[in-house]
Amino acid sequence: MPPRLIFDGINVEPNTPSELYITDTTFRDGQQAFYAYSPGDVKGLFKLLSELDNGSGRLSRSEFFLYTERDRRIVKAVMELGLNYPKVIGWGRARVDDVRLIRESGLDEMVMLMSVSDIHIKAKFNTTRARAAEKYLEAAEEAMRSGVALRCSLEDVTRADVVGFVVPFVRRLIRLNERYGTPLVIKLPDTTGVGVPYPTASLPYSIPKLTWLMRSILKIPSNSLEFHGHGDYHMAVANAVAAWVYGAGVNNGTLLGIGERAGNVPIEALVLWYGRLRGSFDGMEPRVISRIVDYFRGMGYSVPRHQPIVGSNAYATAAGIHIDAQSKDPETYLSMDPSLVGMRETILIGPYTGRSGIAHVLKGIGVNVDKNNEAVERVYRAIVRLYDEGRLREPMSEEEFIRVMGSLINEELIKAK
């Protein structure tokens, strides 16, 4: 059975920060789920990330592995681009050797993995909470002493003993940091996607409660609190938005949501939700999103057709009554202009498209007719017949429709003239 969700009835109030930020883990978590990027792949995608940020600093950081020679070549190549944002930072385990690897690579900031759930501490490391905490603090002190800024990633925090272990441990991290004064961020990974965006749900699953604890009890500033979500239960984006709304200033994601298992929070979703929460993109350039999609397709990645924002179906309409309404006012079924993210609205032709859809596509190729025209009726009947006879199953794009119905459309074109 999946983990049961309990509601305790204790509510916490929203506390949305005035400043919101996005960080990227495409070349860390995302790379584990697609393929090992070449330096050229990474440079191309990193440039697009920088163009998406557009000098705003909202897309503030990008995480990189440093374990292999290829990893280190990639980091060197990206740093040589000389781009201000996102800042290149390292990712490593809570080990002194990993801190040294960060320094040797010329970086001054790292994400440090610190597993905090009992199942990770016991099953993965075969140790105790106390020993794990000491090991993490030793590595953290090495980083702080070396002047390396830390983003302490509390792995699997949504399955951890938050009150009994996580809060006391974070207090120790904060006290240690006070001695050295290097920047410290606490990162909350919903590692298996079990978190929920409901403030009255019980810990450890409630993202609002986790965020509230960090902000109100541990007094962590909003820009020092980061959320990292996974999509195992279809909650990644909802949880990320909840983290922002309830006080975390930073959200971590990947391009197109590509990540381990069911993926991460898509950066393109974070950009649009930033706009919805703030009423502005504050300098980010969302039209770059369509170019990011094209780049991934060029690498052989198949973007899911129905994926929000970036899928080929995201702005497509197939139902005749919808097409009729949308042709009068696009906002009837599109809440935003697709050109905002570099996309366009499309019509899909199928057995339920209706005469309005046929007329709409015909007008696009120069047959200026309305839905009651006899030419539209003949093309419509021909389409329905193809589906009735089973020769077609999936809806057709406008281009496919013109190809399949080419001879009949040409005949009607001649008649219309």
SS (H, E, C) the chain: CCCCCCECCCCCCCCCCCCCEEEECHHHHHCCCCCCCCHHHHHHHHHHHHHHHCCCCCEEEEEECCCCHHHHHHHHHHHCCCCCCCEEEEEEECCHHHHHHHHHCCCCEEEEEEECCHHHHHHHCCCCHHHHHHHHHHHHHHHHHCCCEEEEEEECHHHCCHHHHHHHHHHHHHHHHHHHCCCEEEEEECCCCCCECCCCECCCCEHHHHHHHHHHHCCCCHHHEEEECECCCCCHHHHHHHHHHCCCCEEEEEHHHCCCCCCECEHHHHHHHHHHHHCCCCCCCCCHHHHHHHHHHHCCCCCCCCCCCCCCCCCEECCHHHHHHHHHCHHHCCCCCHHHHCCCCEECECCCCHHHHHHHHHHHCCCCCCCCCHHHHHHHHHHHHHHHCCCCCCCECHHHHHHHCHHHHHHHHHHHC
Does 5 reside within a domain? no
Give 221-263 pLDDT, tens digit per residue.
999 999 999 999 999 999 999 999 999 999 999 999 999 999 9
Question: Rounded to whole angstroms, how far apart are CA atoms 322 and 324?
Answer: 5
The answer on 326 and 288 residing in a single domain is no
Residue 352 lies in a domain: yes
For residue 71, the enclosing domain spans 21-298
Is 347 found in the same domain as 256?
no
pLDDT number for residue 319:
57
Q: Is residue 185 part of a domain?
A: yes
Q: Are residues 349 and 276 in the same domain?
A: no
pLDDT for residue 320: 52
Indicate the residue among 265, 298, 331 that finishes a domain.
298
Domain end among 263, 298, 333: 298
Query: Do 235 and 113 share a structural domain?
Result: yes
Q: Is 110 in the same domain as 247?
A: yes
265 and 328 share a domain?
Answer: no
Interatomic CA distance for residues 231 and 251, integer angstroms: 14
- From CA 222, how far away is CA 206, in angstroms rounded? 18
Asked if the structure places residue 289 within a domain, the reply is: yes
Residue that finishes a domain, picked among 264, 298, 332: 298
Is the domain of 290 the same as that of 358? no
Residues 142 and 250 in one domain: yes
Quick one: 249 and 345 in the same domain? Answer: no
| Neighbouring C-beta atoms of residue 217, cutoff 10 Å | 12
Note whether residue 304 is domain-resident: no
Strands 250-253 and 21-24 turn out to be: parallel
- CATH number of residue 108's parent domain: 3.20.20.70
Whether residue 104 lies inside any domain: the answer is: yes
pLDDT digits (tens, 9 = 90+) for 136-167: 999 999 999 999 999 999 999 999 999 999 99
Per-residue model confidence (pLDDT) at position 273? 98
Q: CA–CA separation, 380 vs 358, rounded Å?
A: 7
Same domain, 277 and 377: no
**Claim to verify: residue 82 and residue 227 sit in the same structural domain:** yes
Assess whether 132 and 265 both reside in one domain: yes
Query: Does a structural domain hold residue 43?
Result: yes
| Confidence (pTM) | 0.92
Residue 91: its pLDDT value, please? 97
Domains in the chain, number: 2
116 domain-assigned: yes
Low-confidence ranges of the chain (pLDDT < 70): 318-332, 407-417
pLDDT score at 345: 83
pLDDT for 359 equals: 82
